Chains A and B, each alone.
Chain A
Amino acid sequence: MLDAILVMSGLALFLGSVLGYASIRFHVQGNALVEKIDAILPQTQCAQCGFPGCRPYAEAIAEGRADINQCPPGGEANIHKLADLLGVEFKPLNAEHGEPKPKSLAFIDESTCIGCTLCIQACPVDAISGAPKQMHTIIASECTGCELCVAPCPVDCISMVPVAENISNWKWKRPSYLEQDAA
């Protein structure tokens, strides 16, 4: 009887200390789930989801405060990925947060711009270059197409221009296939 108690408590002590050590030794920095969700989100930082950026939205999903179908730029493809990651059912995009649109970039009509810097302050990724009372312009390679600069502009000189297909972003099409996807 005593032997059994001793063995069991000894084992419990030993395993407990192993687990305790492992939890310190292999501690994961930050919240791994938030990182994984954030990696799927498109990083447009457009706030259409109702949160002030992709990471806050990722945190809200991880904590169960937000649904997975609130990101229009990510579209259905991203909802599928999130559903796979979190082991939940796919649901169609919530129309309250907007419709998916073709990828666009902001464009400043430089002859109308008055140099007020309001768009610069609104841009979440610092993709607008300019200074007070100087002309502003979009750094196209940095622009995520979030549209946050459009509303603050007092002279309406910012428009969203869809990204045109060119030789460098052109893709081979899926072969047209008459097999009726039988096999």
Chain B
Amino acid sequence: MRKLYHFNGGVHPPQHKSESTRHPIIKPPLPEKLVIPLHQHIGNTAKPVVSKGERVLKGQKIGRAEGYVSSAIHAPTSGTILSIEQEPVPHPSGLRDLCISLEPDGMEEWIELQPVDYLNTDPSTLRNRLRDAGVVGLGGAVFPSFIKLNPSNRKIRTLVLNGAECEPYITCDDMLMRQRAAEIVEGAKIMRHMLQADEILLGIEDNKPEAIAAMKAASGDEMEVVAVPTIYPGGGAKQLIRVLTGIEVPAGERSTDLGVQCFNVATAASVYRAVRYGEPLISRIVTIAGNVANPGNYEALIGTMIDHLILQAGKNEEENVAIMGGPMMGFDLPSVRVPLVKATNCIIVKSEKLFPKRPAPMPCIRCGRCAESCPADLQPQELYWFSKAGNFGKAQEYALFDCIECGCCSYVCPSSIPLVQFYRYAKSEIWAQEREKKASDLARIRHDFRIERIEREKREKAERLAQKSAKAGSEQE
């Protein structure tokens, strides 16, 4: 038995996981229309490489990765490009973003796939393959995986696979581990090869005995499957690394600096499919739960409308209100007429009974329960004062950016203060200030340069004139 460590704080919200694990993963019928956003990952928006009216094949690249931190986007099925326009996307703002709309032709005609033998391939080639295949972290952060698979002179000892799935309602990783354990193991082997890691640890919360059994059966000697205690947010990358290895990642450092890299299990499976079969990431497993007749897990094409999926799960109402992600960290979708993206791990249809209205906030009574529950060892009450007062510099001094926005503080607050919402607000204000600062620094440099150039031109003109007159003077003599 491996010795397990623990992190401070955490909470035990009701799990609601059994409802959506009653039946295997379902493949919903092909929708009539797909809307594929070009910005589904951290980094730069992909650049469209198809035009309106063009016929595309399943798996064909329709958006090219732009710049280093970016990822490609592919056609989830064969069909015709209807438009490349601004469409509503699943984002808390309710704003539109550039999307490619595709009308499926029902033929499901694949592009020619090019499998790779990873053991005889250079890791750099494999990274380019993953970038071109649009593989990003499927745990919710959607960071391009190829960047995390570049050890760049750091020795990675431990590859941690994250199968903890600590948030209530979400069961997509659980079902993936139960049904496709072998794919995860093969994907993990490819990742180990790319990182030259010594060991693989797979952490699964002990409320998923079927998944643990399936993964143990599939992994053989390749990796160690570890049952970790069920506590939210045990599936946070830093929290899981702490529990499995005892390593606490210090503020401002990354786990890779300490020889540990962490990936979600679904990402491992998509790495396997991208390398072994050459298949790009065009679908994902999503949990549809909450106020629906038939909660479950659906393997949906990227770009499927969320209301289409809710309908599959047996809820036929015009005005559904839904959360994307879990109840702790997810956000209310502005509308269910938005497409499924690579980050969509779960859709929870809300009801008054499941999600009663939060009582009105009361003054902070300084009970300290938020600090006790904080898994990042922060002082949430202090961060709250500073964020509320707009004293963002002070909030940063109190390590605001170490907050993982897990929402434990808001969950335990007896005064129902929307604590984590204040931290999100403070973070986005700080980012906006930094953007402005950057822009004004750039303007200063360009202005100074312009003044210098104008002076130089004046000087050079004067010199030329002086030379000319001197020449004219000497000729006269």
A-B Cβ contacts below 8 A, count: 84
Q: Does residue B119 face the partner (Cβ distance < 8 Å to A)? A: no
Q: Output the least CB separation between A73 and chain B (Å).
A: 10
Q: B450 is contacted by which of A43, A124, A144, A183 (Cβ under 8 Å)?
A: A124
Find chain A residues with CB under 8 A from B440 CB.
41-44, 144
Chain A interface, >50% SS class = loop
Given the contacts A38-B444, A178-B361, A167 and B421 also touching, CB distance less than 8 Å? no
Given A124-B447, A126-B450, A179-B362, also A142-B95 (CB < 8 A): no
- Of the listed stretches B85-93, B185-193, B319-327, name the one at the interface; the rest are far from the partner chain: B85-93
- Of the listed stretches B157-165, B293-301, B427-435, B468-476, chain A binds B427-435
Compute how far the CA of A183 lies from the CA of B422 in the bound complex, rounded to whole angstroms.
15
> Are B447 and A177 touching (Cβ within 8 A)?
no
Does chain A have a CB within 8 A of B47? no
Q: Given A42-B440, A177-B418, check contact A183 B446 (CB 8 Å).
A: no
Q: Which of B95, B418, B446, B451 contacts A166 (CB 8 A)?
A: B95
List B contacts of A181 (CB < 8 A): 388
Instruction: Assess the A125–B425 pair: CB atoms within 8 A.
Output: no
Within B217-247, the residues touching A (CB, 8 Å) are none
A172 and B424 contact, CB distance less than 8 A: yes
Cβ–Cβ contact B443 & A175, under 8 A: no
- Cα separation A55 to B422 with both chains bound (whole Å): 36
CB of B92 to closest CB in A, whole Å: 7
A41 neighbours in B (Cβ, 8 Å): 440
How many residues from A make CB contacts under 8 Å with B?
Answer: 31
B446 touches A127 (CB 8 A): yes
Q: Knowing A54-B444, A127-B446, A175-B418, say if A167 contacts B91 (CB, 8 Å).
A: yes
Cβ proximity bits B327-362 to A, threshold 8 Å, 1 near / 0 not: 000000000000000000000000000000000111
**Alpha-carbon distance A171/B441, docked complex (angstroms):** 22
A177 touches B432 (CB 8 A): no
Chain B interface: which size bin? Answer: 35 or more
Report Cα–Cα, A165/B432, bound state, in Å: 12
The answer, yes or no, to whether B372 is at the interface (CB within 8 Å) is: no
B93–A167 CB distance below 8 A: yes
Report the bound CA distance from A12 to B205 in whole Å: 74
- Binary per-residue interface labels of chain A (110-147) against chain B in the complex, 1 for a CB within 8 Å, 0 otherwise: 00000000000000111100000000000000101000
Does B363 interact with chain A (Cβ within 8 Å)?
yes
Distance from B457 Cβ to chain A, minimum over Cβ atoms (Å): 12
CB distance from A124 to the nearest CB of B (A): 5
Contact with B along A38-50 (1 / 0, CB 8 A): 1001111100000
A125 touches B443 (CB 8 A): yes
> Is B39 positioned at the interface, with any CB of A under 8 Å from its CB?
yes
Decide yes or no whether A26 CB sits under 8 A from chain B.
no
Contact A172 B425 (CB under 8 A): yes
Picked from B93, B421, B448, the residue with its CB within 8 Å of the CB of A170 is B93
A168, B268: Cα distance in complex, Å: 29
Min CB distance, A111 to chain B, in Å?
Answer: 23
Complex Cα spacing A134 to B446, Å: 23
Contact A125 B450 (CB under 8 A): yes
Question: Does B442 touch A at the CB level, under 8 Å?
Answer: yes
Which of A53, A167, A182 is the one whose CB lies under 8 Å from B89? A167
Question: Which chain A residues in 144-183 approach chain B with CB under 8 Å?
Answer: 144, 165-167, 169-175, 177-179, 181-183
B residues less than 8 Å from A42 (CB atoms):
436, 440
Cα distance A172–B94 in the bound complex, in angstroms: 12
Contact B446 A126 (CB under 8 A): yes
Chain A positions within 8 Å of B92 at CB level:
172
Nearest neighbor of A164 in chain B, beta-carbon distance: B95
Please determine whether A175 and B421 come into contact, CB atoms closer than 8 angstroms: yes
Chain A residues with CB under 8 A of B360: 178
Does B364 belong to the interface (CB within 8 Å)? Answer: yes
A142 to B449, CA, bound (A): 13
CB distance from B335 to the nearest CB of A (A): 15
Residues of B within 8 A of A45 (CB): 443, 447
Name the interface residues of B400-456: CB closer than 8 Å to any CB of A: 417-418, 421-422, 424-425, 427-429, 431-432, 435-436, 439-444, 446-451
| B97, CB-defined interface residue at 8 Å | yes
A residues in contact with B427, CB < 8 Å:
172
Pairwise interchain contact B361-A53, C-beta atoms closer than 8 A: no
Query: Are B446 and A125 within 8 A (Cβ)?
Result: yes
Measured CA separation A173–B441 after assembly (Å)? 26
Q: 9 other contacts beyond A167-B91, A175-B418, with CB at 8 A cut-off?
A: A54-B444, A125-B447, A167-B39, A170-B428, A172-B428, A175-B421, A175-B425, A178-B360, A183-B363
Would you list 9 pairs from A and B whose C-beta atoms are within 8 A, ordered by A residue? A38-B444, A44-B440, A55-B444, A142-B446, A172-B424, A173-B425, A175-B421, A179-B361, A182-B363
Binding site for B on A (CB under 8 A): 38, 41-45, 53-55, 124-127, 142, 144, 165-167, 169-175, 177-179, 181-183
Task: Give the 9 A-B CB pairs with smallest separation, nearest first.
Answer: A183-B363, A43-B440, A43-B443, A171-B428, A125-B446, A175-B421, A172-B424, A175-B418, A170-B93
